Amino acid sequence: MVVIAVLSGGEGADLARRFAAAGAAGMLVADLRPGVAEDLATELDRPGCPVVGVSGDVHQPSDVAALVDTASKHLGRIDLFAVAGPHGERIVSFADLDDNLAPLAELLALVGEAISEVVPPQRQSDSPSAVRTAVR
């Protein structure tokens, strides 16, 4: 399952469409702008790839916690976390991090300290990755 966080000035629609076309098992799209993620979720939701859209600010720990809770309840374990910002996209696979946290450090620089609350529980899960597709 993929979480896509859209930062101010970013655009997540193309990234979400690419994940859907690549066979993602599910997606949660979070956007600061009310209604944008929800509309995209309605457009992309289909059997085999449920999509949930939420409004939220991934710079806020409470919004990150709510985002992860929503993703877990509706879609399952998070495999990939993607950020679409004004300077491009970053995609991090939790399964591929091992002890090399450099890719995650780059992502953290974009979304701030809030996401750090989410990573330890995700890395401790021994469930196999459902999505192994790298989208660029």
Q: What per-residue confidence (pLDDT) applies to 39?
A: 96
CA nearest to 94, candidates 22, 50, 7, 76: 76
- Rounded to whole angstroms, how far apart are CA atoms 129 and 26? 12
| Residue 132 domain-assigned (yes or no) | no
| Residue 131 domain-assigned (yes or no) | no
* Dihedral sign of CA atoms 10, 114, 34, 133 in order: positive
Q: What per-residue confidence (pLDDT) applies to 127?
A: 40
- Residues 4-40 as b/e (b if ≥16 CB within 10 A, e otherwise) read bbbbeebebbebbeebbeeebbbbbbbbbeeebbbeb
| Residue 109 domain-assigned (yes or no) | yes
CA angle 134, 56, 59 (to 5 degrees): 80
Q: Bigger pLDDT: 127 or 17?
A: 17
Q: Bigger pLDDT: 105 or 92?
A: 92
Q: What per-residue confidence (pLDDT) applies to 107?
A: 58
| Residue 73 domain-assigned (yes or no) | yes
| Residue 133 domain-assigned (yes or no) | no
Q: Are 78 and 1 in contact (CB under 8 A)?
A: yes
Which pTM does this prediction carry?
Answer: 0.70
Q: Are 64 and 115 in contact (CB under 8 A)?
A: yes
CATH number, domain of 108, equals 3.40.50.720
| Residue 21 domain-assigned (yes or no) | yes
- Rounded to whole angstroms, how far apart are CA atoms 123 and 113? 17
| Residue 90 domain-assigned (yes or no) | yes
Q: What per-residue confidence (pLDDT) applies to 106?
A: 61
Q: How many domains does the chain have?
A: 1
Residues spanned by the domain of 21? 2-124
For 77-104, how does the pLDDT look when each residue is reduced to its tens digit (9 = 90+)?
Answer: 888 888 888 888 888 777 765 555 555 5
| Residue 62 domain-assigned (yes or no) | yes
